[in-house]
Amino acid sequence: MEPAIILVRPQMGENIGAAARAMLNFGLTDMRLVAPRDGWPNPKAVAMASGAAGRVLDQARVYPTLAEAMADIDYAYATTARGRELTKPVLTPATAMADARERTSQGERIAMIFGPERAGLENDDVARANAIITVPVNPDFPSLNLAQAVLLTGYEWSRDSLPAQPAPQGRRPDGEATATRIEIEKLADHWEERLDEAGFFFPTEKAPAMKLTLRNLWSRMPLTRADTRIFHGMLRQLIRRD
């Protein structure tokens, strides 16, 4: 069961929308809003959520008080950068979310609580939580915006289910397919042949090392199929001009 993300007295619709995007990045959809300053629904939140994250806002529930938003919660973490006189466990996002995953596996319902943008959670809010999450950031500038804080905890919550490395991309962001190994080999052969004819590999005893260096250069370049066509075309045009 996924944790609930509770935003207490959020002030700007744009920040609520950005938090929704951060949530959906890591598969979180249970957003709860406590007394949003500008009311609800908020068109600025929808505009910022952009696309699929809008469904997080569509499902968001609004409560007048934090106590009501937490009615079904067994264990809650309050996020704050400020020191508190309250005696509670203080955890990093990584430690807190490891604990949260363990509690969830035992059937507990978990929530992460985030305060309003300007001043964060009040002591009365923090008192309702079981533990505190504090991000170990630069002590001279410890402030995080709302979406950043949600993103950090969302990432730590999901990290065990994320791949160890990003998945290889078959296409570039612009949609162009990555060149295949054979296409790069043919490109390397084409250039080597023409450079050899032009006397580029000189002196003779250094030719093997030069060819190896050039072959390595082609293989490590992240070329698309369009790139290989351009390089072939450049070389053909140079030869025609000769």
Residues 15 and 114 in one domain: yes
The confidence score (pLDDT) of residue 174 equals 56
Residues 151 and 60 in one domain: yes
Residues 83 and 188 in one domain: no
Please state, in angstroms and rounded to a whole number, the distance separating the CA atoms of residues 36 and 63: 9
The confidence score (pLDDT) of residue 239 equals 79
Residue 125 falls within a domain, yes or no?
yes
Strands (E), 41-152: 61-63, 75-79, 90-91, 110-114, 131-133
Residue 39 falls within a domain, yes or no?
yes
Does the global pTM surpass 0.75? Answer: no
Please state, in angstroms and rounded to a whole number, the distance separating the CA atoms of residues 162 and 129: 28
Summarised one tens digit per residue, pLDDT across range 171-198 is 555 567 888 889 999 999 999 998 988 8
The confidence score (pLDDT) of residue 161 equals 75
Residues 20 and 122 in one domain: yes
Q: Residue ranges of the chain with pLDDT lower than 50?
A: none
Which among 103, 131, 161 is the end of a domain?
161
Residues 140 and 109 in one domain: yes
Domain count along the chain: 2
